[in-house]
Structure 1
Amino acid sequence: MNARRAGRVAVSAAAIAMTVVLGGASIAPAVDEAPPGATAPVAAPVPSPGVPSPRVSSPGVGAGAEDPARAAEYWLDEYGIRTAWQTTRGKGSTIAIIDTGIGRSPVEFAGAVAGGADFSGVGASDGRMPVGAVDANHGSWVASLAASRGTGAGTGMIGVAPEAQLLSISIGFGESSSVPLVQQVADAMRWAVDHDADIINLSFTTNTLSWDPLWDDAFQYAFDHDVVVIVAAGNKGSGTDEVGAPATIPGVLTVGGVNRAGAASEEASTQGITIGISAPSEELLGVSADGQLVVWNGTSGAAPIVAGIAALVRSAHPELDADNVINRIIRTAKPAAGATRTPDPSYGYGLVDAAAAVTANVASVSSSPLGMTLTEWVRLYRRADVAPAPQPTATASVPDLPAADRVDVRSPLLPNADSLRYGTVPLMAGTLAAILVALGVTAAARRIRSERAPRTPSRPSKEYFHL
């Protein structure tokens, strides 16, 4: 990718144009949440959707009432997360958030971030300085859904896997970085794998089904090192009409979004055959880089909910490889009322169920439960990238050939028995007979001519006549 203009990105030698999309909006000029409205009243437990509002906290709430932030996190109960916490809270798992960076100031991230790096070229070396003028808060919102710690006992926003570790890997979108996006993502993927990530979360998408070949190696590197890669499907509300890369890369678990009723979201999700699982994408809570709580929409939020559940599964079942973690998540999903088949282009295998994913008995698999692997895809469709022909070894030998029948090679001009019998002898006999017949005919003709000619007496010559 060599150029980006106004949120457009040109990728690879083919110069495929794509728009990078975060959560609910395009990179420029819209922001990730819905258009701002009125600030929510202080007493309200949930701010208006998409409106950055003051921190929601317990002061002002009657004694014994649940903390407003926790009350706003409806997915904790409706998707079996609190039940899963009876088994594990994600300890021992590490989620890499490849995004715009996780803010340093929010108390919800205290003790959660184990390390980080910047690949945008404009962020901090530890990945904790938010990157981008428009989407700087996006990485913090995503991280808070995956593994935030809350603000105290039973207060503040808490993530799906509150004992998992986070890696803050900052990248820049649009004009916020001079480094090509595909290069940033490829380098960030490898860094995450090399720093012990169990799960990688990618809450962005593009407007193209294809991807730069540079991503082939980067994603395969993650798969080869047993990393679960979770990717957002994208949102119609931001102009993404179909699932785009990286959600189309074979082997990733693509997350579609549903509303509070469990129906496919019309604005805060896209639909497509690569969707593997569905999770909430509307009325989501998020911690901004400056510590404010907001409500926002988008599959950018659905993806880290599933990433957090993957961390719970890896914590409860450390013996499982990435294929079996994904298999548990999709096989234990709750059927979606609107689905017409399984997998369904709107819901994948259904609505994610954290409790079942952690505790249910699920048969193991020996290969990817999502179908074609990236290796197979590359072999089929990257026709220029073929494996080199095998080279012979030093001990290679050729087996002896069977003995051939002996054949006398003679000049075709010399006669043989067959040519004499069927060619030369009959030809000579025929020729001789023809000659004899011709001679006989000629002699007969002369005899007839001579018999028909008149006969006259002969006279002596004058020179010899004497008187």
Structure 2
Amino acid sequence: MAAARKSRGTRVRHLGLAGRTGTVLLAAGIGVLSPASVALPAWAQQSSVAPDAGGYYATPPPVDPSKKPADENKPDKNYEQKTLCVQRSKLGGDQVDIKSRPWGQEYLQIQKVHELMRGATKSVGGGVKVAVIDTGVSAHPYFKNPVESGGDYVATPNGKAPGLEDCDGHGTEVAGIIAANPTDPSIGFRGVAPDAQIMSIRQSSQNYEEAEKKAEPPPPPPSSSNSAPPGSSNNELPPSSQGNGAVGGAADGTAPGQDKGGRQQEQGKTAGTLKTLAQAVVRAVDKGAKVINMSVDNCRQADGKITQGEQQLQAAVNYAVTQNVVVVAAAGNVGPKCPQNDQPDPKSPKMIVTPPWFADDVLSVAAIDDTGGVADFSVNGPWVSVAAPGTKIISLDPAEGSSSLANLTIEGGKDPGPIQGTSFAAPYVAGLAALVRAKFPGLQAREVMNRIKATAQHPAAPGGRDNFVGFGVIDPIAALTAIVPSEADKAKAVPLPANLPPSNDRDSTPMIVALAGTGGGLVALLVTLFVVHSVRRNRPTTAPARKTP
């Protein structure tokens, strides 16, 4: 009996050795394979269904469709130009050609995205109309398709179709990120969807202000023969507004760099209100847009109420989505009138930004910088949907008659600085939405929005989202190739073209050597274990009996 127990004990020890050996082998396998492992794509990770944002101010009240405004297709007030329009800079002579490819374009692998789209659809966003509701879009030779006139809520431009004057220089840069297509192959910059059709609706301007009501001049004394005739006025702009131009940027008073809080609505007497923004959304839908980009917003203190203008905009964006139009908006920039949402409870923001507040119907876009982290000027909030590059921007030079690019701007007479802001992160997402619509024409607007969120690079946060980057930085390759479970029957995967570059550029030689060495080590280990086990098994299990004298 003792011998049997001893034998069982030996077998138990052998099994324990085998278990430990299996653990060692598993650890070795993981250690060897980890350098070659690739993170799961976002679509294969946790569901992107948003958790309850909570908080009294995080969620707007239900939509009231009756608040949708009628499109008047005209300015709400009489605005007049107070500042010179953006001009070509004379600093350092002629404009320097910008050949480099912007980091944001590299980060999102836009070149590979274009090759994928050409192989799958023979076009890169062709047939999709993107409405840019902004400061207008100027004609530029780098647009493949002439910019379509959509409407004007600022003023009737002299000699130009409505919406095709960009006095501020902001809307042209936004539109360039969506659909610019330089003909010079040496230029690295390209729009995300260069074959898309841009439609411009001018809705705001910081260079146009509400016209002052002029009092009737008193009648001149009868004896005065040198007085000016009644009603005469000086039509020239005041000397203070004679801007010094910009390096591919804007004149004094304009802010494409958005260092002062961005394109805010209803600020002072400048052109642009939530009401006209809502009308512009309705107009874009009625004129056939499939994607709307709004790099303008309104920031105010959260007080538990909703204003009339916000109700109108909420109804307008809801109308757009129900009419199968994807709405993209900038998340907003920190500024003197829009402090950061850094309160202790992230679910109860102290500042509300619209239209991002209406997250059920809007893709709200935060900005990241070239480190991959969220930009410090990007407003946080429970409504943030996704993020995209928003610093060190390269886009079209918005100056009248320019045929080049811009990467710097001048604000208020200061030294040139980089173009940055969530305004320029939003068009990356609008361009991606145009590509998704071109590749998957059967998807509805909400499905397009869900695909972009579901395939983003999710942050390590509960539910795969946070208040900084939402569901994460967009991943255009995944958005155009992944199968999202909720739409598997509509968005069929398209085989990649044979000439597409390899998925990665890593050298496989070190991995082959490592695997070969590991395989040899495993074989030697197994042989050793077999020999040891055989020797122990063949040993006598009982000691020989002692001879007594």
Determine the C-alpha separation between the residues in 2 that align with 1:198 and 1:97.
11
The answer to which of 207-216 and 318-327 deviates more is 207-216
User: Quick check: 1:100 aligned with 2:135?
Assistant: yes
- What is the identity, as a one-letter code, of the residue corresponding to 1:223? V
**Structure 2 CA distance for partners of 1:55 and 1:306, relative to 1, 3 Å:** farther
RMSD (CA atoms): 3.0
Instruction: Specify the alignment match of 1:215 in structure 2.
Output: 313
Determine the C-alpha separation between the residues in 2 that align with 1:201 and 1:163.
16
1:206 Cα deviation from its structure 2 partner: 1.3
Contact 2:145 2:198 in 1 (8 A): no
Q: Deviations over 1:67-123 (max 9, x none)?
A: x2xx3322223113222212321112111000011112x211252423322122344
Contact 2:149 2:161 in 1 (8 A): no
3-state DSSP of counterpart to 1:229: strand
Aligned residues: 304
Instruction: Specify the alignment match of 1:166 in structure 2.
Output: 198
- What is the identity, as a one-letter code, of the residue corresponding to 2:380? Q
Determine the C-alpha separation between the residues in 1 that align with 2:373 and 2:462.
13
Contact 1:199 1:310 in 2 (8 A): yes
Gaps of 5+ in 1: 1-28, 43-52, 58-67, 367-467
Q: Which structure ranks higher in relative contact order (CA pairs < 8 Å, sequence separation ≥ 6)?
A: 2
**Structure 2 CA distance for partners of 1:72 and 1:30, relative to 1, 3 Å:** farther
Among 67, 81, 97, the alignment partner of 1:56 is: 97
Determine the C-alpha separation between the residues in 1 that align with 2:90 and 2:155.
36
- What is the identity, as a one-letter code, of the residue corresponding to 2:104? W
Instruction: Specify the alignment match of 1:272 in structure 2.
Output: 381
Determine the C-alpha separation between the residues in 2 that align with 1:183 and 1:264.
31
Instruction: Specify the alignment match of 1:182 in structure 2.
Output: 274
Instruction: Specify the alignment match of 1:233 in structure 2.
Output: 331
User: Quick check: 1:76 aligned with 2:112?
Assistant: no
Instruction: Specify the alignment match of 1:316 in structure 2.
Output: 439
Determine the C-alpha separation between the residues in 2 that align with 1:74 and 1:262.
11
**Structure 2 CA distance for partners of 1:54 and 1:237, relative to 1, 3 Å:** farther
Determine the C-alpha separation between the residues in 2 that align with 1:214 and 1:73.
37
1:129 Cα deviation from its structure 2 partner: 0.9
Instruction: Specify the alignment match of 1:152 in structure 2.
Output: 184
Q: Deviations over 1:366-402 (max 9, x none)?
A: 9xxxxxxxxxxxxxxxxxxxxxxxxxxxxxxxxxxxx
3-state DSSP of counterpart to 1:201: strand
Q: Deviations over 1:4-47 (max 9, x none)?
A: xxxxxxxxxxxxxxxxxxxxxxxxx999x9xxx996x89xxxxx
Determine the C-alpha separation between the residues in 2 that align with 1:262 and 1:273.
20
Instruction: Specify the alignment match of 1:116 in structure 2.
Output: 150
Contact 1:100 1:172 in 2 (8 A): yes
User: Quick check: 1:346 aligned with 2:468?
Assistant: yes
3-state DSSP of counterpart to 1:275: coil
Instruction: Specify the alignment match of 1:23 in structure 2.
Output: none
- What is the identity, as a one-letter code, of the residue corresponding to 1:125? A
- What is the identity, as a one-letter code, of the residue corresponding to 1:226? N
Determine the C-alpha separation between the residues in 1 that align with 2:189 and 2:162.
24
Gaps of 5+ in 2: 1-81, 118-123, 211-270, 340-350, 409-418, 489-549
**Structure 2 CA distance for partners of 1:276 and 1:226, relative to 1, 3 Å:** same
Contact 1:130 1:137 in 2 (8 A): yes
- What is the identity, as a one-letter code, of the residue corresponding to 1:323? R
1:180 Cα deviation from its structure 2 partner: 6.0
Identity %: 30
Contact 2:297 2:355 in 1 (8 A): yes
Instruction: Specify the alignment match of 1:384 in structure 2.
Output: none
Among 479, 495, 505, the alignment partner of 1:357 is: 479
3-state DSSP of counterpart to 1:163: coil
Contact 2:83 2:208 in 1 (8 A): no
**Structure 2 CA distance for partners of 1:72 and 1:83, relative to 1, 3 Å:** closer
User: Quick check: 1:130 aligned with 2:175?
Assistant: no
**Structure 2 CA distance for partners of 1:141 and 1:206, relative to 1, 3 Å:** same
Contact 2:156 2:162 in 1 (8 A): no
Contact 1:95 1:198 in 2 (8 A): yes
Contact 1:173 1:181 in 2 (8 A): no
Instruction: Specify the alignment match of 1:294 in structure 2.
Output: 407
1:151 Cα deviation from its structure 2 partner: 3.7
- Give the alignment's TM-score, normalised by structure 1: 0.60
Determine the C-alpha separation between the residues in 1 that align with 2:453 and 2:312.
28
